[in-house]
Amino acid sequence: MSIEAALTYTFLFISLYLEVFLLVSFLERRKKGVLLPSQLPHVLPTVAIVVPCFNEEYGVVTTVKSLLSLDYPKEKLEILLVDDGSTDRTLAVVAQFKDDSRIKIFSKENGGKHTAMNYALAHTEAELIGCLDADSIVAHDALLRIIPSFSNPRIAAVTPGIHVREPKTLLQHLQNVEYRLSVFNRFIMAVLGSVFITPGPFSIFRASIIRELGTWRYAHSTEDMEMALRIQEAGYWIANAPRAIVHTATPDTFPRLFRQRVRWTYGWLRNAIDYRHMLGNRKYGNLGLIILPSAIVTIFIGIYFFFRILFYGAQALYHKLIEYQFAGVTSPSFELFYVNTSAMWFIIFVSVALVLVLISTGSFIGTGRRMPPLSTPLFLALYSFMVPLWLTTALVRATFKTGVRWR
C-alpha cells in the first residue's frame, strides 16, 4: 500500500470513528432515560442578558423586543444594552426602551465585544449573566429551558440551540443544514463534558464563576471559545439546552461567510495553541483525549481531501481532453460492472450516510421533527467543497499569526 493510500484510509477511519462514537454516545444517553433536566428550581435566579451593540441600529430593536417577550418574572430579569462606541444611530434607537424597568442602557468607547461583556458584568449583581448578539432573536421560553441545568452547582454555563434566522439565499439554506448538525454536535459534546465553545447567541453563565475565572478576554476575536476552554480547564462543566431556541442572522454571500469562518477557525486554532496543555491530557476526560484532538485533526482531513479531489479531478479532466483530441466526442455509457466498489468508496458512502443521520438527529433534538431540511442533499454535495477554503486560509494565518478582523 502506498503512503498516499495509507494516509487516505487513516483519515477516513478517523472520520468514520468520530461519527460512530458521537452517534453511539447519543443513543446510550437516550437509552438511559431523560436527556435533559426539566425541573425548574423553586426560586428562580436573577438573570442579566447583555446585548453588545456596535452599529446595530437596524436590527437591535427586534432583538430587544424578543428579550422583553421572554417568559420570565420581570423582577428577576435585567437587559443590559451596551453601546460599544457605535458611529450610527444605535444609541438613539435603543433609547426608546429606557422607560422599561428591565432595561439598562450604557454607552462606552469601542473596545470589542469582550469589553462590553465585562462592562455589563461590573454593572449587575444578577446570579446568571448571558449574551445575545444584536442580530439574533430568542424564543419566549428559551430562558426557562436553560435554567434547570443550573441546578447542578458544577455547571458554569449553558448553551442554547441555535438556528438560522429566516434563510433566503442558497448559502443561508446550506448553513441552515449545518446549524442542525451543530445542534447535535453541541448537545452530545455537552453530554460528553467536551463543549469547547459558548456561542454568542444566548449562552448563559454563572456570574460568580466568571468573576472567579477572570472575566472575558480578547482571545483572537473568539472570546466565546476561550471562555469555554477556560471554564473546563478550571474543572467546571458546560451544559446544553437544545430546545432553548435562538435564531441568528447568517452571512448571505460567500465573501461574508468566508470572512466569518476564517475568523472562527483562526480563533479556534490560536486558542488551541494557548490551551495546548489540554490536548491529550487525561485530566480533561473526553475533551482532552478525544474531542480537542479530533477537532484539530479534522481540519487537516478536510484540507487533505479537498486538494486530493482537486488533483485527481484535474487529472481526470486532462485524460478526457486527451481522449477527445484523439477520439472525438463519444457518447457516455453506464454499466454496473464498472462501478467502483473499492473499500475506500464504501467507507466514503457510509460516512456520508452517517452525516445524514446526524443531521436528522440534530433536527429531532432541536425541533422535535425527524426530517432534515430540504436543502440537505445540496449541503452534502456542495458544502464540503467550500469548507476547506476557509480552513486552509485560517491555517496559514494562524501559522504566521497574521490575525483576523471581526468585520
- DSSP assignments along 160-217, one per residue: EEEEESS--SHHHHHHHHHHHHHHHHHHHHHHTT------TTT-EEEHHHHHHHT---
Q: What is the pLDDT of residue 302?
A: 93
CB 81 within 8 A of CB 53: yes
CB 76 within 8 A of CB 44: yes
pLDDT in tens, 77-91: 999 999 999 999 999
Q: Is 138 helix (H, G, I), strand (E, B) or coil?
A: strand
pLDDT in tens, 119-148: 999 999 999 999 999 999 999 999 999 999
Q: C-alpha distances in angstroms, 224 versus 72, 149, 268? A: 25, 19, 10
Confidence (pTM): 0.91
pLDDT in tens, 184-222: 999 999 999 999 899 989 999 999 999 999 999 999 989
Q: Give the residue-averaged pLDDT of 215-235.
A: 94
Q: Which domains does the chain have, with CATH numbers?
A: 47-255 (3.90.550.10)
Q: What are the φ/ψ torsions at residue 162 (nearest 5 degrees)?
A: -105, 130
| Cross-sheet strand order for the sheet of 204-206 | 103-108, 77-84, 47-53, 128-131, 204-206, 155-164, 237-248, 136-138
CA dihedral (183, 189, 194, 197) in degrees, to 10, reads 0
Q: What is the pLDDT of residue 316?
A: 82
Q: Of 29-43, 61-75, 158-172, which range is least confident?
A: 29-43
pLDDT classification of 35: cutoffs 50, 70, 90: low
Mean pLDDT across the chain: 91
Estimate to the nearest angstrom the gap between the alpha carbon of 97 and the chain centroid.
31
Residues in the chain: 407
Q: What is the pLDDT of residue 71?
A: 97
Residue with cell 483519515: 11
Q: Give the residue-averaged pLDDT of 168-190.
A: 96
Q: What is the pLDDT of residue 32?
A: 62
Strands 136-138 and 204-206: unpaired
Among 248, 246, 242, 245, smallest CA distance to 172 is for 248
pLDDT classification of 44: cutoffs 50, 70, 90: very high
Would the pLDDT of 108 be above 90?
A: yes
pLDDT classification of 407: cutoffs 50, 70, 90: low
Name every residue whose Cβ is closer than 8 Å to that of residue 320 and which is 6 or more positions away in sequence: none
Would the pLDDT of 36 be above 90?
A: no
pLDDT classification of 243: cutoffs 50, 70, 90: very high
Q: Is 312 helix (H, G, I), strand (E, B) or coil?
A: helix
